[in-house]
């Protein structure tokens, strides 16, 4: 323990009170900034200043553990503690809503309410958020528990994970909240974060999340709150429960809950009549596409709590509320065949080949079937009429089969292949994974070609050829692994179709140039499963050269920052395979970089997931240098400002159009000093 963190008992310092007050003040101040930033999207201090306060608080808490508090903002970062979730009974069951799909059904709901109440009432219209429902319990202004819906009666206690969500208050603001109450809402993964996550997963060859809801639910079920913290979940709230709510109306209560620090959507409206309701539906059916999170309908609620009570519940849902689901874009078409595609890592993906059909503006010919379990569940047969939907998903999916339309003489039941369609190897299914894999890594054509394609990409060896060239070289029998690339001879290339002196020389030059590509990129280029760019950098930095890495034990690997068991296993498996060792030896002989020059800039990950626009002129570094820094720390440098822009790195003479947009959308502007400090901390 270093001296800074040495514990000095408070009674020996003679400053009881002082430390406590300082800690308390810092906590309050930080929570205020969290609120400004995450709820109001209107920060009042720079990130650097925020981080400094956070660090000061962390230091004080380290020094004076007697003032530890699970509600401290430092606890939001998430710990590595993992445990199974405990099941908790809901004090009020978590019911679902009756669904309607037409204006007619909405009208019926309205008219039924008129009949049952037989007195004037107000209807509140809200958006229906498509995430994971959550119930938060607050006692004396402090979040004490967060429980998932579960089976409606009992749910999983996911408090540790929920605590990591910055927009969810751990302590409430103000003092007019009831001593005990529950607030319900939806945990959502914003579109931008969903895209980022899937891109990352694609890079790591992990199965993609089909939609933000699945991603949010998968994230909430993580046993490691640190992982949850790294994915920017958000929480929107829409329902208060408790004995002593401040107001008589649902709408009014939500407005007050907003002042306690909750993110209460401001699109909630009181409707005067049915026409207002229909206008709201029509408006949001159009406009919802520009929202940062997924919605799948609207919810109508009788406002008065007293009237809600009067209307009561059926066994499954309240009589005082109903949801109207937006029409998912869906079509019926024929399933012609199913093909099985083998990817670079050998993962086998089933793809449905469909009779082409128009769906929300694009022609759909293929749909993902994801995995064997989904095929089984659908009970698909070739020739079936299938329902195809493009909801929140990027890739259209088959959601069902029109069994009634099935002719007597229907085709075969679709079964997942048992052998690799490319090389014939027997497929394997790893424990707890939904995907099937072809284990024949070095003998299966798409895996071989995929590995070579990956090796030559810009971010790896930057050898200027694309998949078609790799295909040609492979088909000609010239290249069967990445090392073979370095044995290519110009006269051999000239024998191939479409190859001329110039292109052959270009390739030779690129290959030569690739010999000075730094070790971490060579390591990334090897295509070891789960070793993406960042992991490759960390490994290269920790073990210095390929031999060091080859000899690393599981313990040594996992002791590297951010290298977990899964990655370690994969690295060990790679070096345990003689064929890989042979390739590495050859690459070494050809002169590729197999050791670091000691200057690997390891990403701090500080800008991970942030979209940053550079504007104006700078004095400390050039624009290109700033761009490189953003990318090195895993941020995204975009050229134009959008609502998804997190920061504008603003220099002198920033363009007026950019400035106007930045102000209009409340995007944070930082100068170069602030930016550099962000990275320095
Ligand atoms: S009110 C007793 N309001 O939809 C009803 N629910 O099918 C309490 N949902 O489980 C729910 N947006 O997860 C309500 N504005 C909203 C909602 C909403 C999404 C979800 C929620 C609930 C399901 C009901």
Write the DSSP string, 502-546. HHHHHHHHHHHHHTTS-HHHHHHHTT-TT--HHHHHHHHHHH-BH
Please give the model's pTM, rounded to 2 decimal places.
Answer: 0.61
Residues with Cβ within 8 Å of residue 340, at least 6 apart in sequence: 348, 349, 350, 351, 416, 417, 421
Task: Look at residue 385 in the predicted model and tell me its pLDDT.
Answer: 92
Q: Characterize the bridge pairing of strands 385-389 and 362-368.
A: unpaired
Return the best residue to mutate from 323, 324, 392 for the ligand 1 pocket (most ligand atoms within 8 A of CB): 323
Distance in Å, CA 232 to ligand 1 centroid: 22
Q: Which of 101, 135, 152, 186 to mutate to test the pocket of ligand 1 (most atoms within 8 A of CB)?
A: 186
Domains of the chain, each with CATH number or no CATH: 10-77 (1.10.287.610), 99-325 (3.30.470.30), 330-405 (2.40.50.140), 445-589 (1.10.150.20), 611-679 (3.40.50.10190)
Identify the pLDDT of residue 150: 85
Q: How many helices (H) and strands (E) in the chain?
A: 25, 22
Atom of ligand 1 nearest to the CA of 126: 15
Residue appearing with tokens 């939907």: 389
Q: How many angstroms separate the first and last alpha carbons of the chain?
A: 21
pLDDT of residue 6: 40
Q: Which atom of ligand 1 is nearest to the CA of 239?
A: 1
Q: Is the CB of 133 under 6 A from ligand 1?
A: yes
CA 369 to mean position of chain CA atoms: 21
- How remote is the CA of residue 665 from the centroid of ligand 1, in Å? 29
Complete DSSP assignment for 64-131? -GGG--TTSGGGGG--S---PPEEEE-SS------EE-SHHHHHHHHHHHHHHH-S---EEEEEEE-S
CA of 295 to the centre of ligand 1 (A): 11
What sign for the dihedral angle of Cα 594, 595, 600, 605?
positive
The dihedral built from the CA positions of residue 438, 442, 444 and 450, taken in this order, carries a sign that is positive
Distances (CA, A) of 5 to 64, 181, 409, 434: 9, 39, 77, 46
The reported pLDDT for the residue numbered 78 is 46
Mean pLDDT by 10 residues, the chain (681 residues): 40 66 92 78 70 87 89 68 72 90 93 96 97 96 94 89 92 94 97 89 74 89 79 95 96 97 96 95 90 94 97 90 86 93 87 89 84 86 89 74 80 91 93 83 92 93 92 94 96 91 94 96 93 89 94 93 87 94 97 82 72 88 86 84 86 81 80 81 50
Region class of 84: left (phi > 0), else alpha (psi between -120 and 50), else beta: beta
- Distance between Cα 319 and ligand 1 center (Å): 13
**Coil, helix or strand for 144?**
strand
Contact assessment for residue 364 and residue 357, using Cβ atoms and an 8 Å cutoff = yes
Q: Which residues in 590-654 belong to E strands, given as ranges? A: 611-615, 636-638, 647-650
Beta strand 99-100 with 347-359 is unpaired
Whether 299 lines ligand 1, by a CB cut-off of 6 Å, is: yes
Distance, in Å, from the CA atom of 360 to the CA atom of 537, rounded to the nearest integer, reads: 42
| pLDDT for res 2 | 36
Ligand 1 and 280: CB distance under 6 A: no
Bridge partners (DSSP) of residue 47 are none
DSSP string, 272-335: SSHHHHHHHHHHHHHHGGGSSS-EEEEEEEESBHHHHHHH-B-SSSBSSEEEEEPPP-EEEEEE
Alpha helices (H) in 191-289, listed in sequence order:
191-203, 212-220, 225-230, 250-259, 274-287
Catalytic amino acids?
A: 128
Here the tokens at position 115 are 């009949």
Tell me which H or E stretch contains 618: none
Cβ-based neighbour number of residue 57 at 10 Å: 20
Dist. CA 250 → ligand 1 center (Å): 14
Looking at residue 370, the DSSP 8-state letter turns out to be -
Give strand pairing partners of 300.
125, 322
> For position 669, what pLDDT does the model report?
82
Write the secondary structure of 176-192 as one string of H (helix), E (strand) and C (coil).
CCCCEEEEEEEEECCHH
């Amino acid at each position: 323990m270093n001296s800074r963190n040495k514990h000095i008992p408070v009674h020996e310092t003679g400053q009881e009170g002082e430390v406590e007050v300082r800690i308390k003040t810092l906590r309050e101040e930080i929570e205020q900034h969290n609120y400004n930033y995450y709820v109001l999207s209107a920060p009042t201090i720079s990130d650097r200043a925020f981080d400094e306060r956070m660090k000061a608080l962390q230091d004080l808490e380290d020094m004076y553990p007697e003032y530890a508090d699970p509600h401290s903002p430092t606890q939001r970062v998430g710990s590595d503690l993992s445990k199974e979730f405990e099941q908790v009974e809901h004090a009020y069951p978590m019911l679902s809503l009756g669904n309607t799909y037409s204006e007619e059904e909405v009208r019926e709901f309205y008219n039924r309410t008129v009949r049952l109440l037989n007195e004037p009432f107000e209807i509140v219209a809200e958006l229906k958020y498509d995430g994971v429902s959550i119930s938060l319990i607050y006692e004396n202004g402090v979040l004490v528990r967060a429980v998932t819906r579960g089976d409606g009666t009992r749910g999983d206690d996911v408090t540790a994970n929920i605590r990591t969500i910055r927009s969810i208050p751990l302590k409430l603001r103000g003092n007019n909240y009831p001593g005990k109450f529950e607030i319900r809402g939806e945990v959502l993964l914003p579109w931008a974060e969903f895209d980022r996550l899937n891109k990352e997963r694609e890079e790591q060859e992990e199965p993609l999340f089909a939609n933000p809801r699945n991603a949010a639910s998968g994230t909430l079920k993580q046993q490691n709150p640190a992982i949850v913290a790294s994915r920017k979940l958000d929480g929107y709230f829409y329902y208060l429960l408790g004995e002593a709510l401040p107001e008589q109306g649902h709408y009014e209560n939500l407005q007050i809950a907003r002042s306690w620090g909750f993110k209460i959507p401001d699109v909630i409206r009181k409707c005067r009549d049915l026409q207002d309701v229909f206008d709201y539906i029509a408006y949001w059916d159009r406009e919802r596409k520009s929202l940062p999170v997924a919605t799948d309908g609207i919810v109508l609620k009788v406002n008065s709590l007293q009237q809600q009570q009067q209307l009561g519940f059926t066994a499954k849902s309240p009589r005082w509320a109903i949801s109207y689901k937006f029409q998912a874009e869906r079509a019926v078409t024929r399933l012609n065949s199913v093909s099985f595609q083998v990817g670079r890592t050998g993962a086998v993906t089933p793809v449905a080949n469909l009779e082409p059909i128009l769906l929300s503006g694009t022609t759909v010919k293929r749909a993902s079937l994801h995995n064997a379990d989904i095929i089984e569940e659908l009970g698909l047969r070739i020739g079936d009429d299938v329902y195809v939907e493009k909801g929140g998903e990027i890739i259209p999916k088959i959601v069902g089969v029109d069994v009634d339309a099935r002719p007597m003489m229907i085709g075969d039941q679709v079964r997942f292949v048992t052998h690799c369609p490319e090389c014939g190897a027997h497929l394997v299914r790893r424990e707890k994974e939904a995907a099937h894999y072809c284990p024949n890594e070095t003998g299966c054509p798409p895996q071989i070609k995929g590995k070579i394609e990956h090796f030559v990409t810009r971010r790896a060896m930057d050898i200027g050829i694309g998949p078609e060239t790799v295909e040609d070289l492979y088909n000609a029998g010239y290249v069967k692994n990445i090392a073979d690339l370095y044995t290519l001879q110009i006269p051999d290339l000239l024998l191939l179709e479409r190859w001329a002196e110039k292109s052959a020389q270009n390739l030779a030059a690129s290959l030569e140039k690739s010999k000075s590509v730094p070790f971490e990129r060579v390591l990334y280029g090897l295509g070891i499963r789960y070793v993406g760019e960042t992991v490759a950098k960390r490994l290269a930095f920790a073990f210095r050269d390929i031999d060091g890495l080859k000899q690393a034990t599981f313990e040594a690997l996992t002791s590297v920052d951010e290298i977990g068991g899964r990655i370690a296993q994969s690295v060990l498996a790679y070096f345990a395979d003689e064929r890989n060792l042979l390739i590495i030896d050859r690459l070494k002989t050809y002169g590729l970089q197999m050791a670091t020059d000691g200057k690997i800039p390891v990403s701090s990950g500080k800008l991970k997931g942030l979209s940053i626009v550079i504007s104006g002129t700078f004095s400390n570094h050039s624009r290109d240098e700033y761009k490189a820094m953003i990318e090195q720390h895993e941020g995204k440098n975009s050229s134009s400002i959008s609502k998804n822009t997190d920061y504008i790195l603003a220099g002198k003479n920033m363009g007026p159009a950019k400035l106007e947009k930045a102000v209009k959308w409340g995007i944070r502007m930082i100068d170069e000093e602030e930016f550099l400090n962000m990275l320095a901390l």
